[in-house]
Amino acid sequence: MTPATAAQAKTKDPSAPSPLPPDRLRALLRQMLLVRRFEEKAAEAYALGKIGGFCHLYIGQEAVAVGSIAALRDDDYLICSYREHGQALVRGIPPAEVMAELFGKATGCSHGKGGSMHLFDAKRHFMGGHGIVGGHIPLAAGIGFGIKYKGGDQVCLCYFGEAAVNIGAFHEALNMAAVWKLPVVFLCENNRYGMGTAFERVAALTDVAEHAKSYDMESAEVDGMDVFAVYDAAARAVARAREGHPTLLEVRTYRFMGHSMSDPLHGVYRTKEEVEEQKKRDPIVGLTHHLRDEGLMDQAAIDALDAEVHAEVDAAVKFADESPDPEPAALMRDVLAD
């Protein structure tokens, strides 16, 4: 782990982001625990038949959403693929509203019309939740163009998996963002696998960052299991984006669960041993070690925080369970009209 605090004290890099104070570090742990506990409950609810359709869990990748969103302002924009529960929660959509959306209930953040892959919250500038691999990357360029056109200084942070790099829209969006100097950070979560089905692995390029060169764009490779490394890289990229320079970040991460809830834990494309080996790099364990080593939290405080998060997630499940289904008439209404 490369804590922003210690690393920045030693080096005198003028572009380094300000160190995060202890209360922000504790907040990062809370967010990572919230995503983990929320998804553990979502997996349970899926098994009980309370969640229908696709459901792609983020467990193992928490440091990516938490570290990168820590570098954003509240008025910045986010746009994501279908593996977006973590980003939605970290952005501040209440867990009850996210869980209710997974349950297809009227109280969900997309009024029960979107489900797991289509979480939206326009007022929090959370622009979804998109199911078509790579389809939302040009939308990020469009959001960036909109910001620039209106003379704003926000940025748009766009998440996608490494298989999206095979899609033409990725290349079109990067090219346009570079040529038009759009305030966008393209964040590729390279979790090593892009699964079309449980058995078919789609071709994925591993030298993602190399593509930036074709478009004359800055890029960086980042350890996605280290929340500080993600924060540091994202903060630099966000600062550059505000000056009109897009960046491509390749964040190397790993998902501990199957591709979606319909896949087994490790499938036929990777071994149980590989998954177990990767779990030794669990980003939450890494952050708790750091907080303990720095004397910022003891084990009792970490346990208390975890219990608080568990209670919040239990309340979210109860809320989702007790919420009504959308009324049939709402089917024909625009979500924003509800």
Ligand X SMILES: Cc1ncc(C[n+]2csc(CCOP(=O)(O)OP(=O)(O)O)c2C)c(N)n1
Residue 195 binding partner per list Mg ion, ligand X, none, with a CB distance cut-off of 5 to 8 Å that depends on partner kind: ligand X
| Residues at the site binding ligand X, with contacts judged by CB under 6 A | 83, 131-133, 161-164, 191, 193-196, 202, 204, 259
Instruction: Give least dist CB 225 to ligand X, A.
Output: 15
| Residues at the site binding Mg ion, with contacts judged by CB under 5 A | 161-162, 191, 194
Sign of the dihedral through C-alpha 178, 61, 228, 67 = positive
Is 67 or 95 the residue whose CB approaches Mg ion more closely? 67
Residue 297 binding partner per list ligand X, Mg ion, none, with a CB distance cut-off of 5 to 8 Å that depends on partner kind: none
Is 207 or 294 the residue whose CB approaches Mg ion more closely? 207
Contact predicate 184/241, CB 8 Å:
yes
Is 191 or 219 the residue whose CB approaches ligand X more closely? 191
Residue 116 binding partner per list Mg ion, ligand X, none, with a CB distance cut-off of 5 to 8 Å that depends on partner kind: none
Instruction: Give least dist CB 60 to ligand X, A.
Output: 11
Residue 92 binding partner per list Mg ion, ligand X, none, with a CB distance cut-off of 5 to 8 Å that depends on partner kind: none
**Two tokens, residue 269:** 């494309």
Residues in CB range of 166: below 8 A, 6 or more apart: 134, 202, 203, 204, 205
> CA-to-CA distance for 150 and 244, rounded, in angstroms?
14
Residue nearest to Mg ion (CB): 161
Is 133 or 140 the residue whose CB approaches ligand X more closely? 133
Contact predicate 88/119, CB 8 Å:
yes
Contact predicate 42/310, CB 8 Å:
no
Residue 164 binding partner per list Mg ion, ligand X, none, with a CB distance cut-off of 5 to 8 Å that depends on partner kind: ligand X
Is 83 or 105 the residue whose CB approaches Mg ion more closely? 83
153: exposed, middle or buried (Cβ count in 10 Å: 0-12, 13-18, 19+):
middle
Is 255 or 290 the residue whose CB approaches Mg ion more closely? 255
Instruction: Give least dist CB 131 to ligand X, A.
Output: 6
Tally Cβ neighbours within 10 Å of residue 295. Answer: 8
Instruction: Give least dist CB 315 to ligand X, A.
Output: 28
Is 128 or 326 the residue whose CB approaches ligand X more closely? 128
Query: What beta strand segments (E) does the chain contain?
Result: 77-79, 156-161, 184-190, 218-223, 247-252
> CA-to-CA distance for 277 and 149, rounded, in angstroms?
48
Instruction: Give least dist CB 312 to ligand X, A.
Output: 26
303: exposed, middle or buried (Cβ count in 10 Å: 0-12, 13-18, 19+):
exposed
Instruction: Give least dist CB 109 to Mg ion, A.
Output: 25
Residue 131 binding partner per list ligand X, Mg ion, none, with a CB distance cut-off of 5 to 8 Å that depends on partner kind: ligand X
Instruction: Give least dist CB 94 to ligand X, A.
Output: 24
221: exposed, middle or buried (Cβ count in 10 Å: 0-12, 13-18, 19+):
middle
